[in-house]
Structure 1
Amino acid sequence: MTVDMPGSNENILSMERFDGMLNKVECGNNSMTLGFVDDETFKYAQQVWDWVNGFDNRTFVMFTGRGDCSNNSRRMPYSVHNIQYDEVANVAYLNATAGKWKDLVHTYKLHVGSVEMPSNVHSRDLSKDTSINLNADLRFGVGISSGPVFGDFSCNPCKTSGKLKFEFDVETELFIPTGLKFKTRPQGVKAEAGIRLRGGAKIGSTVPVTRIPIAEVPLPGGISIPGDILSLGPVLDVEFGIDVSGAELAFELATGATVTLPNDAILEVDLLDPSNNKFSGWKPDVQMKPLDLQARISTKITAFFLWAIQLEAEVLGQGVETGLEFRAPNFELSGQVVASKNGHACNENDNNHFAFRVVPTYGYSFKFTVGKIRGKTPVDISLAHGSFPIAEPFCFPFDEASSTTTKPTTKAPSATTKPATKAPSATTKPATEAPSATKKPAKSDKVTTRDKASSTSPTSASPPTSTGSGNNCTIQSGQKGVCMDRTACKDSGKGATPGFCLDDPVEVQVRTIV
């Protein structure tokens, strides 16, 4: 740190300049007494200091070194207004007031970073590696309940690792910042997330992005220079988020990724002049895990891992908050229902008239933000962003009433991201399961559904009669509805036709369209 006193009636002096010349030092809150070893050194001090006695408004700031005032463990500033001399005893009596750095130092340059100091410079109060250690284990499992969405969300493995090297330069003149620069570079920075999202939502529901706070981890690498000079504390904020739009009843998604930042990435930010900002090399290496998807109709499911490094720095009472936000990995499934009266809903070789086509993608976005502590954000820099397919689109067909089979059709995904085709659980049956061979409905009573069908008559009412196509049907009462299994009907929360829903023992139910 370099301190300057540019005014015509102020000056600055370090007591270290008199090392070896003093045999007595007494420090109080409003005075300082210095005894000199001989006449020559005493006269030298008089020549240096007597300037302050020339005018009443002249002052200089005296900085004591560590241990100069017997037990002080850090540098201390004193504002000196007047000096009296005992020329017989070679003692100087300073009318000096102890103060705080932030009150007495108004013009300075401060550099905090990992650059080694030249060997001819005296050791200062700060001597440590300026890097932020990001090693953190963040495994978790939480329940989800946000409006119409319900389920659970887990991450395992779930961790960050590596370091962020940084430099910080501050310049002020008369307490006004004239220079504020920040530089950072990753060193082996990596984030790994294996996520599983299971749950459901009501038909047609749209839920805004839900963020789940996971952890706020104070990170090693904080720096403090005593005396209110510098306080810098990094914190890792971790959130997971979901975004579900128009999901019908049930979905299960399992995937993961490891995101690694290049070591040659660099960010240089001029907080007072954004035109000087420079950054490069932040495109990450992303290694995907296989995608396992089971779902009834859902137009969009997004799950993401959000980790942000918040760095609050306070220099001589003036605060700045910087942040590196990494939304990575980010997984998204976008889908749409396809209807084709001539068939080929999934591909040219099938006879399916209706299908649900899914496009899985992964992505990332990195940004750097700066603002005053608890204030606005004057700087917001996008470092890198991208969105890429995990695999080729795949398809869940569901036939109209005239079809005889319902089989999933999936385009071949890439070798590293093959979607799962395993049988779903009993409570979340996907669109890929064929109707039961042992309970084939009679031709006059046939219904079409993505769920397993049965022609067994209900015990409390007449059986449904299908007069619609696709997933819609009309029962004998004349009411129209959607075919689904008992569990799905109960979970839907919508109105139901008595005898054909909540109390009907048959597998296929009809939920009234309300």
Structure 2
Amino acid sequence: MFFNSRSLLAAALVVVGALEASAQALEFKPILDLKDYTVGPDSMKRDSTRPPLELVPISDPGFLTHGRALRRAVTGKEAFDVRSAETFYWGAYVGDNIYIANFTLSAPDDDELIMPLERFSKQLKSLKCGTPGQPIVMEFSDQESFEYALSAWDWVNKEDVNKFTLVTEPDQCYKGDNRSPYLVKTITFDKENFTANVQAEEQEWSKVARNFRLNLGHQPVPPATANVTHPHLQRREAGKEFDIAHSFNGNLFNFDVQSPTTAGMAMNADAEITTAGRILSDFDIVMESVTDIIDKIPNPDIKLPDIKLPDLNPFDKRAAGLKREVGLPKDVKLTITPQDVTASFLLKLHADGTLGKPLDWSMSPAIDIPIYGFKVGGIIEIGPFLTMSAHYGSTALEGTGDLKMGANGTLDNSAKLSVQMTDVTKNSFENWTPKITGIEPTFSAEFTGNMKAWAELALVIKAEVMGKWGYQAGFEAQLPYFQADLVGTKEPTGVCNSTKTVGIDLKASVGIDLSLQAGSVKGAAAASQSLFTTQWPLYTTCLAIGADNAKTATDATATGTDTVEPTGTEAIPTGTDATLTGTDAEDTGPIETGMPTETGVSNLPTFRPEQQD
């Protein structure tokens, strides 16, 4: 019971990628300072306490996923050919999954090409680089290779605007160097010594990558395969990446009878909250260069935020304007999937008296759950921030005694959320209906009233792309709730089909309300989109309490204890309307049959069935 299914769903959306989200097509904006770019509760604004998982450069992802090369090796003289596009890979193990970053760099213009050293470095006799201000010196093994490279590379010397983007491998030029781009402007060829002196300057990726596609995806990999193929990709603290496992066991609040919060009722609450599993996310971002004519005097201090995207029509600018190319996101897509995600919430409440005013309590501050993020050196860093909290509320409650109520929730591994951030009409949402089973309630005395309680997981994902573009999206679980309506009964002849004379009629229901919160520059919320909303009964039962002292015709006495013994309708029925197991959501209605309706649809419409009386 009391576990808010929406919180469980929110927990499933931990890694969403580098993006902003809204209910309409997104307007991507640069951020001057990522530290100022936040959404969600204040507790989410602090820095992550765990370093990101850094993906390691790899030459062929096939070795990781299949144990053999899948990428066609370029051999012979073809290895010296320059290209208009080149793909680079990074990889890392996350539990029993392999994450692969696929970065395709494009140079669509005629005056720029790409030259990856990885393709031909093994065919060189020697390679010297890494000294600032000094050329990269390549010595070829034979005359044929040298002459082929000369014919392929001399193009850069023909025009001042021609240039290569040369990409080195880790530690190739100096120890500790990452995979890095160099801007090549001229190459001097020595025909006698078969050498090429490359005048190049190391650049940030943001300087050379105006057109690219970055895809981050995962595949399941057996542990035996992972240990053999690339053991250097294993983390020292294995198994912690994107792990949402956390537990809380402690006091929520303690109000005495004089407290203005409860106004006549002493109330003390403890909770046991646990989460487990992983949240996996794949995402894809496409960046394309856009030509802008800026109505300004050429100035090296012009910043990217000065370029107003709606003014990109060159016909609206005077002919003497400044022509400039900038990279802008064209497409951003993310896919979220849970892996063995479970959650449990058990509420323990002691109450004495009559609640004199409505109570709506929220844990503050929330509990931080540290999570590892992702990092591809110099290209992208994604940092998730997750908090867990608890909520309790009641509009009326009367009684003296103790009660325990709770529930367990599980997400199906087939659940998938796909969000097309630039066109939400292409969104899809499927198989997110959780399986919920109640924990048997216990009451020590008669209670009348109502209560609601839920665990809440709130998340914010920050992403920085090449140190230039910052995006943020968040998922929050606020409402609805697990709700219980309690009606105390007394009957000398017995209650709940038992020989006890005191009982509680208990009607319990649960609900789901999953929403997407989008951020914008300087922390202002851009938009909120409801993804899935519904409510359904969990169970209805009658709980008999106390001694077996009912008066019967035969004056029979039944044995029993002072613990709760649910009778009549089972407190935790299975395979019926009371639980969410083994029934197709599409075949049932949202309230009448006790099951929510959920389908994979575009634009993620909101389902809002009417509340039961």
Q: TM-score, normalised by structure 1?
A: 0.63
Q: Which residue of 1 aligns with 2:277?
A: 162
Aligned residue identity for 2:405? T
Q: Which residue of 1 aligns with 2:338?
A: 186
Name which of 140, 155, 173 aligns with 2:250. 140
Structure 1 residues 90 and 378, CA gap change in structure 2 (3 angstroms): farther
Q: Which residue of 1 aligns with 2:172?
A: 68
Q: Which residue of 2 aligns with 1:501?
A: none
Structure 1 residues 162 and 385, CA gap change in structure 2 (3 angstroms): farther
Q: Which residue of 2 aligns with 1:12?
A: 114
Per-residue CA deviation, residues 101-126 of structure 1 (Å, 9 max, x unaligned), is 23321211111111389xxxx99x98
Secondary structure, aligned partner of 2:349: strand
The answer to whether structure 1 residue 23 and structure 2 residue 126 are counterparts is yes
Cα RMSD for the two superposed structures: 4.1
Q: Which residue of 2 aligns with 1:353?
A: none
Displacement of 1:166 in angstroms is 2.5
The answer to whether structure 1 residue 82 and structure 2 residue 186 are counterparts is yes
Per-residue CA deviation, residues 315-371 of structure 1 (Å, 9 max, x unaligned), is 323333344555799432346999xxxxxxxx9xxxxxxxx9976423132525253
Which moves more between the two structures, 372-381 or 233-242? 372-381
Q: Which residue of 2 aligns with 1:281?
A: 431
Residues in 2 aligned to 1:101 and 1:16: alpha-carbon distance in whole angstroms: 17
Residues in 1 aligned to 2:233 and 2:286: alpha-carbon distance in whole angstroms: 18
Name which of 93, 110, 125 aligns with 2:214. 110
Name which of 471, 475, 495 aligns with 1:320. 471
Secondary structure, aligned partner of 1:390: strand
Contact 1:201 1:246 in 2 (8 A): no
Aligned residue identity for 2:536? S
1:97-496 mapped onto 2 (5 Å cutoff): 97-115=201-219, 132-144=242-254, 148-149=261-262, 151-156=267-272, 158-174=273-289, 175-199=327-351, 204-220=356-372, 222-227=373-378, 229-247=379-397, 253-293=403-443, 300-317=450-467, 318-325=469-476, 330-334=481-485, 360-367=507-514, 369=516, 371-372=518-519, 374=523, 376-378=525-527, 380-383=529-532, 385-392=534-541, 414-416=569-571
Residues in 2 aligned to 1:6 and 1:69: alpha-carbon distance in whole angstroms: 28
Structure 1 residues 295 and 100, CA gap change in structure 2 (3 angstroms): farther
Residues in 1 aligned to 2:401 and 2:480: alpha-carbon distance in whole angstroms: 20
Displacement of 1:133 in angstroms is 2.3
Residues in 2 aligned to 1:3 and 1:127: alpha-carbon distance in whole angstroms: 27
Structure 1 residues 199 and 310, CA gap change in structure 2 (3 angstroms): farther
Aligned residue identity for 2:178? R
Per-residue CA deviation, residues 471-501 of structure 1 (Å, 9 max, x unaligned), is xxxxxxxxxxxxxxxxxxxxxxxxxxxxxxx
Q: Which residue of 2 aligns with 1:468?
A: none
Residues in 2 aligned to 1:295 and 1:7: alpha-carbon distance in whole angstroms: 79
Displacement of 1:304 in angstroms is 0.8
Name which of 146, 151, 155 aligns with 1:51. 155
Structure 1 residues 165 and 413, CA gap change in structure 2 (3 angstroms): farther
Residues in 1 aligned to 2:426 and 2:152: alpha-carbon distance in whole angstroms: 42
Aligned residue identity for 2:435? D
The answer to whether structure 1 residue 34 and structure 2 residue 137 are counterparts is yes
Displacement of 1:387 in angstroms is 3.3
Residues in 2 aligned to 1:116 and 1:286: alpha-carbon distance in whole angstroms: 27
Residues in 2 aligned to 1:322 and 1:230: alpha-carbon distance in whole angstroms: 16
Unaligned 5+ runs, structure 1: 339-346, 348-355, 397-409, 419-514
Displacement of 1:242 in angstroms is 1.5
Structure 1 residues 391 and 329, CA gap change in structure 2 (3 angstroms): farther
Residues in 1 aligned to 2:528 and 2:125: alpha-carbon distance in whole angstroms: 50
Secondary structure, aligned partner of 1:68: coil
Per-residue CA deviation, residues 11-53 of structure 1 (Å, 9 max, x unaligned), is 2221123222241221244443222223333333332332222
Aligned residue identity for 1:36? E
Q: Which residue of 2 aligns with 1:503?
A: none
Contact 2:513 2:531 in 1 (8 A): yes
Contact 1:230 1:313 in 2 (8 A): yes
Structure 1 residues 365 and 147, CA gap change in structure 2 (3 angstroms): farther
Structure 1 residues 127 and 80, CA gap change in structure 2 (3 angstroms): farther
Contact 2:112 2:164 in 1 (8 A): yes
Aligned residue identity for 1:361? A
Q: Which residue of 2 aligns with 1:432?
A: none
Structure 1 residues 290 and 321, CA gap change in structure 2 (3 angstroms): same
Displacement of 1:273 in angstroms is 1.0
Whose Rg is larger?
Answer: 1
Residues in 1 aligned to 2:331 and 2:179: alpha-carbon distance in whole angstroms: 24
Displacement of 1:274 in angstroms is 0.8
Structure 1 residues 126 and 194, CA gap change in structure 2 (3 angstroms): same
Aligned residue identity for 2:181? P
Unaligned 5+ runs, structure 2: 1-102, 222-228, 290-326, 490-494, 496-502, 546-564, 574-613
Structure 1 residues 106 and 375, CA gap change in structure 2 (3 angstroms): farther
Secondary structure, aligned partner of 1:138: strand
Contact 1:2 1:108 in 2 (8 A): yes
Structure 1 residues 297 and 256, CA gap change in structure 2 (3 angstroms): closer
Residues in 1 aligned to 2:456 and 2:367: alpha-carbon distance in whole angstroms: 11
Per-residue CA deviation, residues 235-275 of structure 1 (Å, 9 max, x unaligned), is 43211012233556978542011101122222111111111
Higher RCO (CA-CA < 8 Å; seq separation 6+): 2
Q: Which residue of 2 aligns with 1:91?
A: 195
Structure 1 residues 246 and 173, CA gap change in structure 2 (3 angstroms): same
Residues in 1 aligned to 2:233 and 2:158: alpha-carbon distance in whole angstroms: 37
Aligned residue identity for 1:3? L
Displacement of 1:195 in angstroms is 1.2
Q: TM-score, normalised by structure 2?
A: 0.54
Per-residue CA deviation, residues 372-402 of structure 1 (Å, 9 max, x unaligned), is 4745354634245423143247899xxxxxx
Per residue, is there more helix in 1 or in 2? 2
Residues in 1 aligned to 2:528 and 2:107: alpha-carbon distance in whole angstroms: 31
Secondary structure, aligned partner of 2:242: strand
Secondary structure, aligned partner of 1:416: coil
Aligned residue identity for 2:375? S
Secondary structure, aligned partner of 1:43: helix
Contact 2:281 2:336 in 1 (8 A): yes
Residues in 1 aligned to 2:240 and 2:203: alpha-carbon distance in whole angstroms: 28
Residues in 1 aligned to 2:431 and 2:411: alpha-carbon distance in whole angstroms: 9
Residues in 2 aligned to 1:15 and 1:300: alpha-carbon distance in whole angstroms: 69
Aligned residue identity for 1:33? I
Aligned residue identity for 1:141? N
Question: Between the two proteins, what is the percent identity of the paired residues?
Answer: 22
